[in-house]
A and B are shown apart, each in its own frame.
Chain A
């Protein structure tokens, strides 16, 4: 009977993970939905307008109306397109956008029925590498969609998207190497724990204090990876006529647009996790409050959300401030400015760490 234990499955564990996956996915969806609303409101306010205010109070039902509209639009698949790939494109964009959230530690563990439930779907020891891998896959949504459309503009957009991703991923990776030197681990939970318990309620141990340049580089690259203005060259309404999703209609188009907002939210979460202490609430020491563990988890979760929303707002703020880069400017910025800067940052970090450890 000893061998039977190998087959014993902790069903609660599986149930718990399934629930968590469902929650995280629906959370990302809802946030992305209201990010579209927020985008329109932020755009309006920065341009002295009011923004959507007809559907529901303050226009809060606007995302639902938009979604409903997209569902009922006619679905057009161009005759000359390669159909399988054409359908695959938006699916890939959506899936890769949602996959990233799997390794994010959303908060401290919850305690339900005497079980510690970790609010991280998978605490794998290569967390950052996983994020990198999935984010790089994200470009396939753009490439396949643009290529399968059989349209010059879409193809140009796909090429632009691919080259942009490759250029900015390098600088992003280099800026993270400096961060990894500090933590010595690729595991997301270790990186967050490394930022807890410093001065000012943890604020002084946030990585952004030690890696300000690294953060700025990471931020710019994240914006480029999300294809947000000023890096929205694959979309480029006025040059490429909406680029890679020009031929798309109905909810397939919706998926592309939606994936962008999910990406934006997730990259906000990743930035908060890597550089801004994750779920750590600054200026206070939560451990001394002597309240139930579940409350701490909820507070931590809200803190993380707050930080992520702040980054989402900054993304929007930048989008409505500056125009799109020209392609040569984009490449110059990526290869001639960010990569050398990231390298310098990495070398300096390495020397300082060596010097301190001596």
Chain B
């Protein structure tokens, strides 16, 4: 029964005397390899040169801010509920008078941690978030000296302030944040 069109018939005839010397077949193989000497190289010189990702690439999470630079997260916990790897944990706090320039709404995340060793980059947190506060960016190469370093704190996740440092903000946002910033 043929399952695909790609199936190849295997030649099971015993080798002839000429084939047992291997020389002819080796010569054929060498012709193939030498032809690769002149082909285009597929290498990407990584730190200098980067592969372009598709728009749906899911990298490390960022915590987004609004256009005035205020944190959008309200610590509702929907992302933590949605997370299949149970990597997200947070603690909520109430916004005090005078902190309106820091937090968009009355409740905010005092502590927000993602365990990057557990995270599977599924993007469910991003889908669950009603406030557009968490996004998967296009950063992907994380490195650290110990396992503790992979538990990303709020400071690690928060995006740079768009008012103070617009360039860094743009870089961190990448192409993935497609929804308008104001809501």
Contacts and interface: CB of A to CB of B under 8 A. Distances in A.
Interface in B27-62: 29-30, 32-34, 36-37, 39-43, 45
B36 A46 contact: yes
Contacts of B32: 321
Contacts of A216: 23
A45 B42 CA distance: 10
A48 interface: yes
A322 B41 contact: no
Interface residues of A, number: 15
A48 B42 contact: yes
A49 B41 contact: yes
A337 interface: yes
Nearest to A53: B45
Contacts of A46: 33-34, 36-37
A321 B29 contact: yes
B29 A45 contact: no
A200 interface: no
Interface string B124-161: 00000000000000000000000000000000000000
A320 interface: yes
A45 B41 CA distance: 8
A111 to B, nearest CB: 41
Given A48-B40, A48-B42, A50-B41, A337 B34 contact: no
Nearest to B25: A322
B41 A320 contact: no
B26 interface: yes
A313 to B, nearest CB: 10
A332 B41 CA distance: 38
Given A50-B45, A318-B26, 11 more contacts: A46-B33, A46-B37, A48-B41, A49-B41, A49-B42, A216-B23, A317-B34, A320-B33, A321-B29, A333-B21, A333-B22
10 contacts: A46-B36, A48-B36, A48-B40, A49-B41, A49-B43, A317-B34, A321-B29, A321-B33, A322-B29, A337-B21
